[in-house]
Chain A
Amino acid sequence: MKTFEEKWTAWLDGQLSGKELTEFEASLPDLAAAEAEKRDALKLGAFLKEQLAAQALSNEEFFSHQLHERIAHDTRDRHRSTSTWWTIPRLVWSGATALALFVITTVVLMSQHPAGEQSEYLTQILNSRVDPAANPNATIYIFESKNDNKVTVLWTEGLQTLPADYAAK
């Protein structure tokens, strides 16, 4: 058994029909006032539905806009943090330049000291001669010491032996 309020709500929503509708409308004291109230309630319902739907759309757009802003900001940040002067082409060019400089330096250094020439850090014997008349069997050897002193040695053999007196100062 429905109460009056339940029947009233169902009538306002247009959910009563047939015998139930006829009995309810007959029970109303002023059908015209009730109809007017029904129209107002429907108008109010339609208005509220319209306003709520508009507000929901507005929030969605706002949220979407915020989301796009945030994504764009994050993308900018990520791009800025990973961006560097050392890009791949620049790395390649830097490496090629360094290699070229090394080759040029090496060539310059090598040209200052032709291959095969004796090192400038060692003394060079250009020529040497022993008086063949006084020392007919004399021979001369030239070599460098094997230690760190880099001593160049001119080694003579077969020179005439002299008496100890010649060691005088």
Chain B
Amino acid sequence: MELRPLLLAVFLVLAMGAVSANAARVVWSGLVIAENVPQPAPIPPELTKLEQTLKDLFGYNQFEVIGQSDKTLKTGQEDWLANSKYFGLHVDARGENDAGYTLSLKLYKENDVLLETDANLSKSSPLVIKGPQVGSGQLLLVLVVKDDEVVRRRRHAEPANPITAGWYRLRRIIHNVLP
């Protein structure tokens, strides 16, 4: 008799975890000029987590955002544009999957398409594209999936769902252990 409320509670916890896991996300897309300057400006906040990786990869000491877009994805089918004066990055989201979003990217230089690519952008793995050399610097395209602000606030207010967190941790461990 006491098993039924327990099962109901477990179901509700799992359902809440599933809802929070599939909540809306924000994709940040940026056009970044990387260059070496005597006195580098602080890195933009969107790139703070990637600072060391970008420095290691490209060898520049300053990363300046010349165009950006924060797009909240609700259906996973949205498209948007991150523009600078001469460059435009058009992103066309073509659906959401377990890992993240399927995106079609086009880098424009004025009206010319410089680069096209399709990618599955993971929620936990940023994408960095090395573009053309611009003067003494380098154009970089950066795409990062961020948590939606509401989700982030709720996560700060509420502790993580231990069952779903444990489930994801277990999956990660098994994936790491088994090739």
Digit string of B121-145 for contact with A (CB within 8 Å is 1, else 0)?
1101111111111111101000000
Does B175 sit at the interface, judged by CB under 8 A?
Answer: yes
A161 in contact with B137 (CB, 8 Å)? no
Does B113 sit at the interface, judged by CB under 8 A?
Answer: yes
> For A105, A127, A145, which residue has the most chain B Cβ atoms within 10 angstroms?
A145
Partner pick for A162 among B66, B113, B133, B179, CB 8 A cutoff: B133
Interface residues of A in 98-128 (CB under 8 A from B): 105-106, 109-110, 112-113, 115, 119-128
Chain B min CB distance to A137 (Å):
13
Stretch touching chain B among A34-42, A54-62, A82-90, A151-159? A151-159
Instruction: Find the A residue at minimum CB distance from B49.
Output: A149
Complex interface: chain B residues within 8 A of A150 (CB):
122, 124-126
> For B35, B52, B129, which residue has the most chain A Cβ atoms within 10 angstroms?
B129
Instruction: Find the A residue at minimum CB distance from B118.
Output: A126
Chain B min CB distance to A22 (Å):
103
Partner pick for A156 among B49, B112, B129, B136, CB 8 A cutoff: B129
A156 to B134, CA, bound (A): 14
A153 to B128, CA, bound (A): 5
Tally of A-B Cβ pairs under 8 angstroms? 157
B135 in contact with A163 (CB, 8 Å)? yes
Does B18 sit at the interface, judged by CB under 8 A?
Answer: no
Chain A min CB distance to B126 (Å):
5
A123 to B134, CA, bound (A): 26
A125 in contact with B116 (CB, 8 Å)? no
Known contacts A149-B53, A156-B130, A166-B109; A130 and B121 CB within 8 A of each other: no
A128 in contact with B122 (CB, 8 Å)? no
A128 in contact with B124 (CB, 8 Å)? no
Does B120 sit at the interface, judged by CB under 8 A?
Answer: yes
Closest 6 CB pairs of A and B: A164-B135, A120-B99, A128-B117, A159-B132, A126-B118, A124-B120
Interchain residue pairs with CB less than 8 A apart (15)? A110-B174, A113-B175, A125-B127, A128-B115, A128-B116, A145-B53, A145-B57, A149-B53, A151-B53, A151-B57, A153-B128, A154-B127, A154-B128, A162-B134, A166-B134
Told that A126-B120, A156-B132 touch, could you supply 16 new A-B pairs with CB distance under 8 A? A106-B178, A109-B171, A110-B178, A122-B125, A126-B117, A150-B126, A151-B53, A154-B129, A156-B131, A159-B114, A159-B133, A162-B134, A166-B86, A167-B64, A168-B84, A168-B86
